[in-house]
Chains A and B, each alone.
Chain A
Amino acid sequence: MAPTHDLTPLAPRPAPLDMPRQVLEHAARPSTFEMFSRLFLRNI
């Protein structure tokens, strides 16, 4: 079995960058029933 070594100090130096999640999908369209319910059945 190979010896284990602590390699934590070998990790790249931290310098965080913001990396926003890209949008690749259109927002799901509401179904006809959902549209209908939003218009007329709001209080049910």
Chain B
Amino acid sequence: MRTSRIVGITFALLCMVAAAATLAQAGLNTGFDVWDGASVLLIAITTGWLAWGAAQAFIGLPALAPAPRTTLMNGYFPATAILVPICNENPVEVCARVQAMRQSMVRAGVPADFAILSDTSDPDALRTERAALLLLFDQNDGLSTVYYRVREDRRGRKAGNVEDFIRRSGGNYTYVVLLDADSLMEGEAIRHLVARMEANPGLGLLQTLPRIVGAETAFGRAMQFSASFHSPVFARGLARMQGPAGPFWGHNAIARVRALAQCCGLPELTGPPPFGGTILSHDYVEAALLVRGGWQVEMDPRIDGSFEEGPENLLAFARRDRRWCQGNLQHIRLLNAPGLRKWSRFVFFQGIVSYLVSLAWGAFLIVSLLAAATAGAPNYFPDAYQLFPVFPDDRTFQIVALACGVGGLLLLPKLAIYAESVLTGRAYQFGGTLRALGSVLAETLLTALIAPLMLMYQSRAAAEVLSGRDGGWPATARGEGRLGWVEGWRAGRWITLFGVAVSIFVLRAAPDLVVWLLPVTVPMIIAPFLITVTSWPMLGGVFGVPQETSLPPVVADYRRNLARDTDPKGTADGAIARTA
């Protein structure tokens, strides 16, 4: 663990220094000015961040040892509750998921209760929710009881919702499995999690790596492919570096109730949002507090049978990212929190930088443009009595080297992961070596196309938070899928305007840079088109994942339940129709 951390940080620092030195050298050739100084600082930050991500992938390339085979003795199963916090969710989908997990738990012989913890506030939504969930309470499988309660004092949002359960009913249980409204878990996975907790009394929380399921759009399926193909390797790297101070992502994890009660009563931060008030990204904080309290927090990407859904279009992704941005930047307040381990502080720092880095990329582009625009004409005869002209040094070599280095940090991890998948045979689960390569290339192309858009969205989010604007906690838009042209235009027109403005500026002030900036300006200008088109359904072709070719039983059950409970019009909102 310590070696992995040292290797990762050293690699990032070396890349940072190399990039800064290369750009500084290019600046020195032509007289180092204030723009060069700013560029060097910004390229150091951005390259360091890219290298840190690449280091995680490289460290994760070697396979982990097989997951420990832990079993529970003599049919003993400690009291466990599966917590499903919901807030204005589609209740028919929630109902279908809980039913699917119950079916899976019956097959696996896992006795655990469900607690649906509702923070739904809208009275109509609440009525629909109650009516839809009635179906669950009527069923009796002899293994689990489904509880349901609505919280009227909705303080603390999701973390407060779970905390309320622990405070009122936590004494009934040894473990809680924490889910999101869109989570699914196989009964066998729950059994494994409980057995792992039983085997290690010092383990406070065990996080799984959920696989994304159910994506149908081009954007969603690219994310689903990336999460299935690339994420396990990144997660192995992360697990190696984090060790027992590992991450908690807020759902698809099991926690020891005693540890949660002891360490995870989150306070409200002093001052108003966005930096004060309720802690938004509570999961990182809870992980840090558990570690502070002496508990181990582990993430194990080897655990199968854990699923979630992802955003289906760029707009939904950006909306979620806005919330995460505010949550992560709020951690600035916690960097100095008393008693935290150094690594926990570093994890906060890492989360903060992940959002500030977009601003740094944007600033780097602006500084580069201003430097080019304000550069005077070369002076070939700097001395008064000079026989031969002095030609300015060519910076092309350093700039090309820098571009190759940055491109390499972006591409090499993906190519290395592809090579790993071929060597280990993992690529066959993704349709074979050729199809997996096609998917990797298509995902890389799509990522490159939407990267400037993500940069704009993230920069706007970070700028809003830093200027003190609270984004609140917008409900997660699940399954909104396909966007119309008007929605795409509304979501991306400001990016188009910005792209056009930058292009005009570059054409007038530094025409030599126009070609270099095309990979950034073209996607910006066509942002509404990209946002709309990537939200279109895309079935088959590239981006195939194992969970599509062989549907996990719990996901298959969920779809069957949903189809049964959906009204004939096809809207998964037939709760009222069913009970009427």
A residues lining the B interface (CB < 8 Å): 1-5, 7, 10-26, 28
Contact indicator A17/B257 (Cβ below 8 Å) = yes
| Total number of B residues with any Cβ neighbor in A under 8 Å | 45
Contact indicator B171/A16 (Cβ below 8 Å) = yes
Report if B110 contacts A (CB, 8 A): no
Contact indicator A15/B269 (Cβ below 8 Å) = no
A25 to B579, CA, bound (A): 50
Contact indicator B127/A1 (Cβ below 8 Å) = yes
Contact indicator B285/A24 (Cβ below 8 Å) = yes
Contact indicator B270/A25 (Cβ below 8 Å) = yes
Report if B188 contacts A (CB, 8 A): no
CB distance from A13 to the nearest CB of B (A): 6
Contact indicator B169/A12 (Cβ below 8 Å) = yes
Interface string of B154-194 (1 = CB under 8 A from A): 00000000010111111110000000000000000000000
B residues lining the A interface (CB < 8 Å): 81, 113, 115, 127-128, 130-131, 134, 137, 146-150, 163, 165-172, 257, 260-267, 269-270, 285, 289, 333-334, 336-338, 575-576, 579-580
Which of B81, B260, B337 has the most CB atoms of chain A within a 10 A radius of its CB?
B337
Contact indicator B148/A11 (Cβ below 8 Å) = yes
Closest to B260 in A: A19
User: For residue B262, which residues in chain A have a CB less than 8 angstroms away from its CB?
Assistant: 19-20
Residue of B113, B115, B130, B575 near A5 (CB, 8 A) is: B130
Sorted from nearest, which 9 A-B pairs have the closest CB atoms?
A15-B171, A12-B169, A17-B170, A2-B131, A11-B149, A19-B265, A12-B147, A15-B172, A17-B261
Provide the main secondary structure of the chain A interface.
Answer: loop
Contact indicator B334/A24 (Cβ below 8 Å) = yes
Contact indicator B167/A10 (Cβ below 8 Å) = no
**Could you list 18 A-B pairs, sorted by A, with CB under 8 Å?**
A1-B576, A2-B130, A2-B575, A4-B127, A10-B137, A12-B81, A12-B172, A15-B170, A16-B167, A19-B265, A20-B262, A20-B265, A22-B289, A24-B266, A24-B285, A25-B267, A25-B269, A26-B338
Contact indicator B169/A15 (Cβ below 8 Å) = yes
User: For residue B130, which residues in chain A have a CB less than 8 angstroms away from its CB?
Assistant: 2, 4-5, 7
Contact indicator A12/B267 (Cβ below 8 Å) = no
Closest to B580 in A: A2
* A12-B113, A24-B285, A24-B333 given; 13 more Cβ-contact pairs under 8 Å: A4-B127, A5-B130, A5-B134, A7-B137, A12-B81, A12-B168, A12-B172, A15-B168, A15-B172, A19-B260, A19-B262, A19-B265, A23-B338
Closest to A19 in B: B265
Contact indicator A19/B148 (Cβ below 8 Å) = no
CB distance from B170 to the nearest CB of A (A): 4
Contact indicator B147/A11 (Cβ below 8 Å) = yes
Contact indicator B579/A3 (Cβ below 8 Å) = yes
Which of A1, A2, A23 has the most CB atoms of chain B within a 10 A radius of its CB?
A2
Contact indicator B285/A13 (Cβ below 8 Å) = no
A2 to B123, CA, bound (A): 11
Closest to A26 in B: B338
Residue of B166, B169, B337 near A25 (CB, 8 A) is: B337
User: For residue B167, which residues in chain A have a CB less than 8 angstroms away from its CB?
Assistant: 16-17, 19
Which of A4, A12, A17 has the most CB atoms of chain B within a 10 A radius of its CB?
A12
User: For residue A19, which residues in chain B have a CB less than 8 angstroms away from its CB?
Assistant: 163, 166-167, 170, 260-262, 264-265
Contact indicator B168/A14 (Cβ below 8 Å) = yes
User: For residue B113, which residues in chain A have a CB less than 8 angstroms away from its CB?
Assistant: 12
User: For residue A22, which residues in chain B have a CB less than 8 angstroms away from its CB?
Assistant: 263-267, 289
Contact indicator B171/A17 (Cβ below 8 Å) = yes
User: For residue A7, which residues in chain B have a CB less than 8 angstroms away from its CB?
Assistant: 130, 137, 148-150
Residue of B81, B134, B267, B575 near A21 (CB, 8 A) is: B267
Closest to B171 in A: A15
Closest to B340 in A: A24
A15 to B115, CA, bound (A): 14
CB distance from B545 to the nearest CB of A (A): 36
CB distance from B318 to the nearest CB of A (A): 29
Closest to B169 in A: A12
**With contact pairs A12-B172, A22-B265 given, residues A2 and B115 touching in the complex (Cβ less than 8 Å):** no
CB distance from A4 to the nearest CB of B (A): 6
Closest to B173 in A: A15
User: For residue B334, which residues in chain A have a CB less than 8 angstroms away from its CB?
Assistant: 24
**With contact pairs A10-B147, A12-B165, A18-B261 given, residues A24 and B337 touching in the complex (Cβ less than 8 Å):** yes
User: For residue A21, which residues in chain B have a CB less than 8 angstroms away from its CB?
Assistant: 265-267
Contact indicator B163/A13 (Cβ below 8 Å) = no
User: For residue A18, which residues in chain B have a CB less than 8 angstroms away from its CB?
Assistant: 261
CB distance from A1 to the nearest CB of B (A): 7
Closest to B167 in A: A19
CB distance from B148 to the nearest CB of A (A): 5
**With contact pairs A10-B149, A12-B172 given, residues A2 and B127 touching in the complex (Cβ less than 8 Å):** yes
A10 to B264, CA, bound (A): 26
A23 to B339, CA, bound (A): 9
Closest to B576 in A: A2
Closest to A5 in B: B130
User: For residue A26, which residues in chain B have a CB less than 8 angstroms away from its CB?
Assistant: 336, 338
